[in-house]
Every structure is written in structure tokens, then in C-alpha cells.
Amino acid sequence: MTSEPGVHQDGGAPDGAALPVGRVGRPHGLDGSFYVTRPRPQLLSLGAGVTVARRTAAIVRRSGTEQRPILRLEGIEDRDGAEALRGQEMTVDSRHAPVLGEGEWWAHELEGCTVVDGERLIGTVNRLIELPSCEALEVRREQGGEPLLVPMVKDAIRRVAVSEGRIEVDLGFLGEAGAEGKHEPKTGKGEGR
């Protein structure tokens, strides 16, 4: 299960929603090209319209790698132009984004969702983070303290209902239910959802 796009059972980006695609990084060369930090490469295709600093421009050059793409936008012709945009967030209109399949979401759809285990309120999704093996929800706990990281895997997440703003997780699988005594740790393979 992935989340950018991620796990999805309902909903989708609302028409016209701005999807973050990365931030303008340091300039690359003299022609106005720049690195993209925190990229979503699937949304950074040649010719796509990207909005940055309240202006939409087409991507006229794309090189680099998926992890470190290099872009040049229409109208940005030199290193100074790229440097002036450094640090700015870039977005694309969701109407021009690839269609997500069943079991997939955009990260912003999960942010702000309430996280529960049965009737127990755990907290709220703060953001989605990338771990070496998968993405994980960073959950701001209702009772405070360190955030809870919930990997985007079937054994950790029972149900995602974006339209309800609710994500149901298994604290037993996450090793957190022992203090509550509610759940026994799972053994063997998890059941399909």
C-alpha cells in the first residue's frame, strides 16, 4: 500500500484542489532550472502546469532523477529567476493529476483525519512521512506526547474513510495496546481487507 498516491477506499481530490508537488530548491545551471525538494515525481511531467508564487507556468524542461528532479518553468529564464522562487511550494490542479485507483489517496486527504482504535480516540493525522520501507501517518496524540507513527500497511490500518475524516488503526499491531489490555498482539498473517 502506498499513499502518494496511497491507500484509498472512498473520495478523491476535489475538482480544482491544489495538489502539492514539491518545493523549488537550489538553482541548477544558468538557464533558470532548479532542483525540486520533496518531489511528487508522478505529478511533474513535461508540459504540466505548475503554480508557484501565485503564477502558473508549464514545465519546459525535466531532467534529473525521480528522487531529485530538475525542472525549468516557462518564463524563468536565468539563475536569478530560479533563486527568487527558492523555497516556494509548487502545486498542480487536481483535474490534471493522474486518476487514483481504488485504495489510493493523496496525502492531503489523510491529513487532519481523526485516528481511532475501536471507540478509543488516538489523535489526528498531522502529516504523511516517507520511511525507508513505506509511508507512515504521523499522528498527533490526543493526550500529547511523542507522535505515533502508523505505517501504511494492512495490518496497521483497518479502515480509511476520507469522506468521514476517520482512520481506524490496530494499536495491538503497533505494540501500543498492552497498556490498555484491550487487544492481543496478532500472530501469523493478517486477514485481507
Of the candidates 127, 92, 103, the one whose C-alpha atom is nearest the C-alpha of residue 113 is 127
For the stretch 138-172, pLDDT in tens is 999 999 999 999 999 999 999 999 889 999 999 99
pLDDT at 16: 59
Q: Name residues whose C-beta falls within 8 Å of residue 10's C-beta, 6 or more positions apart in sequence.
A: 161, 162, 163
Q: Which CATH number fits domain 18-96: 2.30.130.10, 2.40.30.30, 2.40.30.60, 2.170.190.11?
A: 2.40.30.60
Among 10-14, 98-102, 139-143, the least confident range: 10-14
For residue 181, is it left (φ>0), alpha (ψ between -120 and 50) or beta? left
Q: How far apart are CA 54 and CA 102, in angstroms?
A: 32
Assess contact for 23 and 155: CB atoms under 8 A.
no
What percentage of the chain carries pLDDT values higher than 90? 55
Can you give the three-state secondary structure of 49-105, one letter per residue? Answer: EEEECCEEEEEEEEEECCCCEEEEECCCCCHHHHHHHCCCEEEEEHHHCCCCCCCCC
CATH code, 111-193: 2.30.30
Q: How far apart are CA 95 and CA 5, in angstroms?
A: 15
pLDDT at 179: 44
Concatenate the DSSP letters of all residues of 102-140 into one string. TT---HHHHTT-EEEETTEEEEEEEEEEE-SSSEEEEEE
For residue 151, is it left (φ>0), alpha (ψ between -120 and 50) or beta? beta
Q: How far apart are CA 106 and CA 128, in angstroms?
A: 10
- Ranges in the chain annotated CATH 2.30.30: 111-193
Q: How far apart are CA 5 and CA 41, in angstroms?
A: 11
For the stretch 39-97, pLDDT in tens is 988 889 899 899 999 999 999 999 999 889 999 999 999 999 999 999 999 999 877 77
Q: How far apart are CA 170 and CA 155, in angstroms?
A: 7
For residue 17, pLDDT over 50 is answered with: yes
- Tabulate helix, strand, coil % of the chain (nearest 5): 10, 40, 50
